């Protein structure tokens, strides 16, 4: 009896860490950039004595959306013979397993829901931005108080970005007295030269970079098809079905596809996507600083807007709405200390960077070189550090000096 108890204890000791990992595993998080903006308490910044927030400079990714193109839904649907005419006659309905037929039925509903909506903001995406706007006013009321508050909002020409901007600004308008602020909203193609700029070398890097999930497709394909040999692009099907499964958390349809994957398959797709995003947009020696250089026009615009607000002694916000890659490259240029290497923690749907500017009380704060202006950086509404610093508040003059030096180094000057 004693020996049996000892063996049982040893077995439990061995499998307990595995059980704990399984309990904490989240299929939704393996969606990476498709991860819906997480709910939960957001951290503010500790205000130093004698300082008051007066200005917020913001860059936000659009909120939750359907897949970018209808063609992606169509391709996957064709593989499982969804519709009267399949583009893949060899993959007929007769070749589907019981699970494959179940997935086919679910895909019909998903495809019907997505038709005409590809790339568009979902209701959840709009609510994400309304929530961020409400918390911004709640956490930094002094930025929006007074009759001379100026709020300028600019978005990418992508309809989902403009819809995100409108949802954000609608929430601000509902919270602020109509006569207390001046709100300017624009979606201008000319702004794409800085709002979502991709340099030629950035485009070349993106086009040349691909990563495949490090896993076999044998189990996955055989679970859906009786004859796996008739599936021409098994890895693409695995990856695209995982993308659709990931996006279900973003759309108004209560259907899940997670049961068709193992955790290992989900993580393999997640890790491949993570690696590609990091190479194309992150801080790694592999890309030779290309993403950081591509973000220079955006930073220069952010700096000029901030200097203008400071010089005029005003208060308010500059709100910019764009895309995950542009935001990620901006974080790379700034040297923000990221919460990890996973895209779901860095650039989920509605990801945002807020730069909160504080001015010493009793000081007018006019003039570009005003040393009383401090700035805090918040990624997804959580305070973060610049580069190797342990501080959460930085003199604006020091930030500009640091960035000028970094840009000079990146440009080889």
| pLDDT value at residue 22 | 47
Closest CA to 302 of 330, 281, 275, 283: 330
| pLDDT value at residue 363 | 52
296-324 pLDDT, tens digit each: 999 999 999 999 999 999 999 999 999 99
**Most trustworthy range by pLDDT among 45-49, 370-374, 402-406:** 402-406
Q: Which long-range contacts (CB under 8 A, 24 or more apart) does 209-218 make?
A: 209/276, 209/279, 209/280, 210/276, 211/272, 211/273, 211/275, 211/276, 211/279, 212/272, 213/238, 213/239, 213/265, 213/268, 213/269, 213/271, 213/272, 214/268, 214/271, 214/272, 215/264, 215/265, 215/268
| CB distance 273 to 343 below 8 Å | yes
Closest CA to 53 of 312, 352, 393: 393
| pLDDT value at residue 20 | 38
Dist. CA 311–CA 95, nearest whole Å: 69
Helix (H, G, I), strand (E, B) or coil at 317: strand
pLDDT at 1 over 80: no
102-161 pLDDT, tens digit each: 999 999 999 999 999 999 999 999 999 999 999 999 999 999 997 789 999 999 999 999
Owner of token pair 């030779």:
288
Dist. CA 250–CA 303, nearest whole Å: 33
Strands 374-379 and 382-384, sheet pairing: antiparallel
**Residues 6+ positions from 38 with CB-CB distance below 8 Å:** 348, 380
| pLDDT value at residue 91 | 57
For the beta carbon of residue 141, count every other beta carbon within 10 angstroms. Answer: 13
Is the overall model pTM greater than 0.95, yes or no?
no
Percentage of the chain modeled with pLDDT above 90: 80
Q: Which two tokens stand for residue 117?
A: 């909506």
CA distances from 71 to 17, 43, 147 (A): 42, 40, 49
Report the DSSP beta bridge partners of residue 61: 322
- Helices 200-208 and 263-281 cross at an angle (nearest 10°) of 150
pLDDT at 192 over 90: yes
DSSP string for residues in 271-294: HHHHHHHHHHHSS-GGGTTHHHHH
| CB distance 133 to 168 below 8 Å | yes
Closest CA to 291 of 379, 203, 352, 351: 203
**Residues 6+ positions from 208 with CB-CB distance below 8 Å:** none
| pLDDT value at residue 77 | 93
Q: Which two tokens stand for residue 390?
A: 């342990």
pLDDT at 89 over 70: no
């Amino acid at each position: 009896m004693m020996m049996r108890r000892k063996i049982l204890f040893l077995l439990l000791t061995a499998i307990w860490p595995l059980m704990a990992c399984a309990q904490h595993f989240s299929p939704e998080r393996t969606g990476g950039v498709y991860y819906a903006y997480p709910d939960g308490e957001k951290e503010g910044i500790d205000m130093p004595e004698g300082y008051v927030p007066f200005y917020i400079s913001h860059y936000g990714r659009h909120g939750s959306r359907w897949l970018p193109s209808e063609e992606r839904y169509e391709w996957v649907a064709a593989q499982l013979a969804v519709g009267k005419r399949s583009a893949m006659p060899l993959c007929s309905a007769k070749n589907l397993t019981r699970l494959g037929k179940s997935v086919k039925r679910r895909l019909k509903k998903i495809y019907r829901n997505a038709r005409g909506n590809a790339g568009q903001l979902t209701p959840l995406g709009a609510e994400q931005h309304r929530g961020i706007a409400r918390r911004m006013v709640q956490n930094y009321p002094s930025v929006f108080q007074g009759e001379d508050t100026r709020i300028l909002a600019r978005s990418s020409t992508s309809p989902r970005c403009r819809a995100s901007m409108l949802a954000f600004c609608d929430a601000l308008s509902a919270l602020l007295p109509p006569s207390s602020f001046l709100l300017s909203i624009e979606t201008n193609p000319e702004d794409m030269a800085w709002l979502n700029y991709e340099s030629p070398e950035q485009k070349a890097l993106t086009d040349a970079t691909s990563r495949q999930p490090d896993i076999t497709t044998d189990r996955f394909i055989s679970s859906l098809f009786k004859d796996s040999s008739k599936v021409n692009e098994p890895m693409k099907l695995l990856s695209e079905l995982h993308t659709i499964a990931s996006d279900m958390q973003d759309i108004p349809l209560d259907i899940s596809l997670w049961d068709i994957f193992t955790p290992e398959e989900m993580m393999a797709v997640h890790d491949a996507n993570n690696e590609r995003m990091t190479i194309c947009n992150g801080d790694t020696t592999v890309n030779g600083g290309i993403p950081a250089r591509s973000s220079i026009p955006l930073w220069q615009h952010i700096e000029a807007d901030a200097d203008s607000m400071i010089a005029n002694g005003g208060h308010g916000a500059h709100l910019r709405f764009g895309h995950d890659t542009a935001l990620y490259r901006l974080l790379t240029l700034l040297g923000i200390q990221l919460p990890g290497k996973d895209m779901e923690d860095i650039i989920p749907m509605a990801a945002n960077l807020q730069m909160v500017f504080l001015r010493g009380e009793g000081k007018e704060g006019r003039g570009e070189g005003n040393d009383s202006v401090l700035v805090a950086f918040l990624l997804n509404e959580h305070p973060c550090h610049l580069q190797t610093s342990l501080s959460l508040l930085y003199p604006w003059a020091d930030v500009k000096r640091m960035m000028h030096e970094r840009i000079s180094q990146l440009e080889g000057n």
